[in-house]
Structure 1
Amino acid sequence: MTARTWLITGVSSGFGHALTTQLLKRGDRVIGTVRDTTKVEDLTKQYPDTFTARVLDVTDPAAVRAAVDEAFAAGRVDVVVSNAGYGLFGAAEEVTDAQVDHIIATNLTGSITLIRAALPHLRAQSGGRIVQLSTYGGQVAFPGNSMYHATKWGIEGFTESVAQEVAPFNIGVTIVEPGGARTEFRAGSAQIAEPMDAYEGNPAHGFRAMLDPAAPPAPGDAQRMAARIIESVDTEPAPLRIVLGSQALDATLGVLRKRVEGFEAQRELAASTDFPAGE
């Protein structure tokens, strides 16, 4: 198998780190972005010829474009993985304007900028893959996660549209929707809004049970999930979506079935707003 070159954002932890370690072990080359290179010093020392760490804040559009241009200037990049992101928990009324702005800039605008910056290069080299890390929360919504869902539902709509635009250029696009996994998401990167007394006992604070250190661990294995993501790049045509985790798939199917039932029940209502036939 020919070694590939991957550009991956957010490789210091979570899925980004799992992907990077597996790819390097099998002989691929990884250009990984981090906010602090000391967190990946072990990889830099172990794989000096195939791993390159770049400092990047994905909320800085100019820096994102420069990082992408630099990566492609060094040679062909086969796969671009948009992974950087985090969770924000709290009722919509509890989160601050600054928190709203930052999670949108990171999870949504940052991902959009990365993909847009990569497209001219991927077209010039006649193809490649884009992998957008989302979550089954890009299809299923829970209380207390409104802003996280807003970014993930948004990036899924953007990416699904782009997938259709770039297919003629031999560029495949895949949205990855993992369920809960044993990464740093719960205890490390997740942010929590300042709680309001009005929401005590409200479903919006149900996330506390998930974040409780005494709670059962998430069912998903990040290493197995990373392996499935890597395998997806060999699938032709590129799968538009892959859901990782049986719990995530069950929840997604349940929500989508109810959504379809709701739409089916509106056939008469929808038709009532059309011009009568012949008019």
Structure 2
Amino acid sequence: MSVWFVTGASRGLGLEIVKAALDRGDEVVATARDPRAIEQSLGTSAGLLALPLDVTSQDQADEAVRQAIARFGRIDVLVNNAGRGLVGAVEETSDAEARAVFDINVFGLLTVLRAVVPTMRAARAGRILNISSTGGVVAWAGWGVYSATKFALEGITEALRLELAPLGIQVTSVQPGPLRTDFLASSSLGQVERVIADYAPTGGASREWAGANHGLQEGDPVKAAGALTTLVDLDEMPARLPLGTSTLADIRAKLAAVGAELEEWQELSRSTDVVPA
């Protein structure tokens, strides 16, 4: 039996992860800004501890971990799932809008890591799943600032994996494609206030796509949650786990384009080396 600590657990993928863990007999600390939403969906049980957590608050994160340890004695699996989207061209995005999404997606993740990792280091064991996105590998017009938060998460995860591996803790970046959750609804996806006409075919098209595709996403969040329960049971978790057919296609196309560009410009790249005397 494992003890899970899941952020952003009141809806969407987070809620499905909690359900999947409970269904297999694990114990779960499910956190959200309003934990009553978790109990309304799942009821109460001995294996479920629903706690309030605003991931931007270190005090709340530390208290949630304290209560988790008091209730279950340890944390085996941390799922950093809390996050928010933002659509709009880079120039259209205000400083406040950019900072707000970075506060949750990047600094919030770091806040939770600081609270949970010490317990895992003490146990010399643990699994950490950082929920990234296809947008953590590939950036599209209209999603630049959101992708920047997920690119940051990818860098944090890659380094954290190296830092924690000698201490018995494994770390994976999970990269879902479009899941059929409420991510494209206004409750999860912010839209920048400023609209610049020149970006109508690019950033504007992304805004239109988000509105038109809510509820039509290709990914099944229940199956995604099941993939994560499979992942944490592996002897060795991969560094990255893309989820979904379109994610695989998008990442493969990005890697192929980067590889081709490296080949095309390698002479200019090498020309900057210091020439040995």
> Scaled by the length of structure 1, what TM-score is found?
0.93
Tell me, yes or no, if the aligned pair for 1:209 and 1:215 is still in contact at 8 Å: no
Q: 1:137, CA displacement in angstroms? A: 0.6
Counterpart selection for 1:4 from 2, 6, 9: 2
CA RMSD of aligned residues (A): 1.7
- Find the counterpart in structure 1 of residue 58 from structure 2: 61
Counterpart selection for 2:174 from 165, 176, 193: 176
- Note closer, same or farther for the CA distance 1:275–1:123 as it changes in structure 2 (3 Å cut): same
Q: 1:197, CA displacement in angstroms? A: 3.9
Q: Matched residues in 1 for 2:142 and 2:150: separation?
A: 14
- Find the counterpart in structure 2 of residue 138 from structure 1: 136
| Aligned partner of residue 32 in structure 1, secondary structure | strand
- Find the counterpart in structure 2 of residue 110 from structure 1: 108
Q: 1:101, CA displacement in angstroms? A: 1.4
| Aligned partner of residue 184 in structure 2, secondary structure | helix
Q: 1:140, CA displacement in angstroms? A: 0.5
Q: Which runs of 5+ in 1 are unaligned?
A: none
- Point out the more displaced range, 245-254 or 66-75: 66-75
| Aligned partner of residue 18 in structure 2, secondary structure | helix
| Aligned partner of residue 186 in structure 1, secondary structure | coil
| Aligned partner of residue 112 in structure 2, secondary structure | helix
Alignment deviations for residues 172-214 of structure 1 (CA, whole Å, 9 cap, x no partner):
0010000011001011311111142434523011123322347
- Point out the more displaced range, 246-255 or 203-212: 203-212
Q: Matched residues in 2 for 1:214 and 1:117: separation?
A: 36
| Aligned partner of residue 241 in structure 2, secondary structure | strand
Q: Matched residues in 2 for 1:137 and 1:234: separation?
A: 26
Tell me, yes or no, if the aligned pair for 2:58 and 2:115 is still in contact at 8 Å: no
- Find the counterpart in structure 1 of residue 223 from structure 2: 224
Q: Matched residues in 2 for 1:87 and 1:276: separation?
A: 46
The residue type equivalent to 1:76 in the other structure is R
- Find the counterpart in structure 2 of residue 193 from structure 1: 192
Tell me, yes or no, if the aligned pair for 1:44 and 1:53 is still in contact at 8 Å: no
Tell me, yes or no, if the aligned pair for 2:89 and 2:199 is still in contact at 8 Å: no
Alignment deviations for residues 29-68 of structure 1 (CA, whole Å, 9 cap, x no partner):
11011111221123553x4201111111111223223322
Alignment deviations for residues 94-121 of structure 1 (CA, whole Å, 9 cap, x no partner):
2222211111110001112212322221
Aligned residues: 275
Q: 1:80, CA displacement in angstroms? A: 0.5
Q: 1:73, CA displacement in angstroms? A: 4.2
Q: Matched residues in 2 for 1:216 and 1:176: separation?
A: 21
- Note closer, same or farther for the CA distance 1:77–1:190 as it changes in structure 2 (3 Å cut): same
Tell me, yes or no, if the aligned pair for 2:9 and 2:31 is still in contact at 8 Å: yes
Structure 1 runs of 4+ with >4 Å offset = 213-216
Q: Matched residues in 2 for 1:199 and 1:240: separation?
A: 39
Q: Matched residues in 1 for 2:251 and 2:259: separation?
A: 12
- Point out the more displaced range, 180-189 or 116-125: 116-125
Tell me, yes or no, if the aligned pair for 1:31 and 1:71 is still in contact at 8 Å: yes
- Find the counterpart in structure 1 of residue 248 from structure 2: 249
- Find the counterpart in structure 1 of residue 273 from structure 2: 274
Tell me, yes or no, if the aligned pair for 2:182 and 2:214 is still in contact at 8 Å: no
> Scaled by the length of structure 2, what TM-score is found?
0.94
The residue type equivalent to 2:241 in the other structure is I
- Note closer, same or farther for the CA distance 1:213–1:16 as it changes in structure 2 (3 Å cut): same
| Aligned partner of residue 205 in structure 1, secondary structure | helix
